[in-house]
Chains A and B, each alone.
Chain A
Amino acid sequence: MKPLRRIALPLLAAAAVVTAPGRAADPSADEIVTRSLEAFYYAGNDMRAKVQMKLINPQGKVREREMTMLRINLGKSGDQRYYLYFHGPADVKGTSFLVWKYPAKEDDRWIFVPTLKLVKRIAADDKRSSFVGSDFTYEDVSGRDLDDETHALVRKENLGGRPTYVVEGKPKASADYSRRLSWIDSERWLPLREEYLDARNEPLRTFTADKVEQTGKYWTVTARSMKNLQSGHRTEVVYREVEYDVGLKQDIFTERYLRDAPSQWVR
């Protein structure tokens, strides 16, 4: 998120100075989305969480994924590294993923297949593809670039007792949706609800933040769900043991630990 932090934060600071004496003017849509991406995907220098996913089909049948997620931010460049270790289900236990994420270009991704002790680099041109068979995309899990969409502030409203900005985003390149409406908490900057709509304005998917908790100085969406309104399939995710700034080192995000999970962090 290089352009973002470098440009948007000074802008925000300038805005704060200019408007401080009077009634706070609303930030621009881009500023709101910038702060939201920061709060949702970049909180802390690093992060550790246990993530539990329930994939629920329209008949109510449930599949589960349980993983440890480690993340580190690499300075101000916006580059990040993610490490994901699967604890279950039994057939994929021990599988791990490594992602080197860059805001403006394709990620580098690797998978480790424990039964073959195989590390394989995988092609990563699929930010809009389903993440491990869930209703979340890779992008939903690890973030997107501000410049992927144009943004407009639609209105302000209360949602579940929280003040929010409602922002409309339209993808610049053709995507599986035409429009996204985001309800962004105007104090904590987390997205509380998102609706994806198609060209005929029919709802495609809906994201909801079901539980928001504070860990140290950071707010985290610890329960979230994504529902596909066309298929009826939905995914519920719970983040447990969320910790920030635990002191993850960069070398954890390399082949060594992909092959051999760092037991200090993956429990």
Chain B
Amino acid sequence: MRSRPRSAFLLPAVVLTVYMVYSLGPVLWIALSSIKGRQDLFTLPPRLIFTPDFAGYQAVFGVGAARDSAAAIGLSQALVNSIVVSVAGTLLATVLGTLAGYAASRFRFPGRDDFMFFALSTRMIPPTAVLVFYHVMYSRVGLSDTVGGLVLVTTFINLGLATWIMKGFFDGVPVEVEAIARINGYSRFWAFRRLVLPMVRGGIAATAGFCFIFAWNEYSFASILATTKANTLPVRLSSAMGATGIEWTQIFAAGMVLIVPVVVFFYLIRRHLLMGMTFGVLGKGGT
């Protein structure tokens, strides 16, 4: 490596730097804008140095002058809904996806490939396409604007991905693990629970992480199915562009607040993330 010409280092450095500006510039900008006062938001040229104004955050948390702001998250119902919906939806999708992924990895049941494709198809469906039906179905069975109904949708949007990722992890566990347990007189279920599951802990973490990101940020379904008392933070947020125009600082402050749990989750699962994303495709070749 040492003897590579200098240009071999220059090109990656330049490309990575340019990408970093593209990727992190807007992140920096949202962070800055979230603490700009109304007058600083629209100045020309935009100010990099200004007196921070935390009105946006105050509005988001529903404290201070902005106690009654339309977008106030605070300890509001929307915050509770968001937490319940994403945690329950993540949990359900991860558990069901783990079970289904194990079955798809270990058993040759009829229609297995179709099942896997069917599972993936949950990601293909544009929300608007099925929302028409969900809307009808939900109002008929009384799930409209309920947290339970949202949990169901949230589970469903992640279930396919969870099944796929978990199948990949289970494919990485040698079948001999169960074979040895069975030779020693243990049931397959015992082997699954006591041996295989601990081996894919990281995979479960990665799956849960991904499900959480999508569940926490889900907007389309929630905006139609949970309009008032069951609404979640992203929906609540969109009300910040209310009658008085777009409340930019509030939106940006809310974005900054909303990203925190995701970053924490992502940080916790970081080590398992890369493995989970191979979907068991690699390492199964002939070598």
Do A and B associate with each other? Answer: no
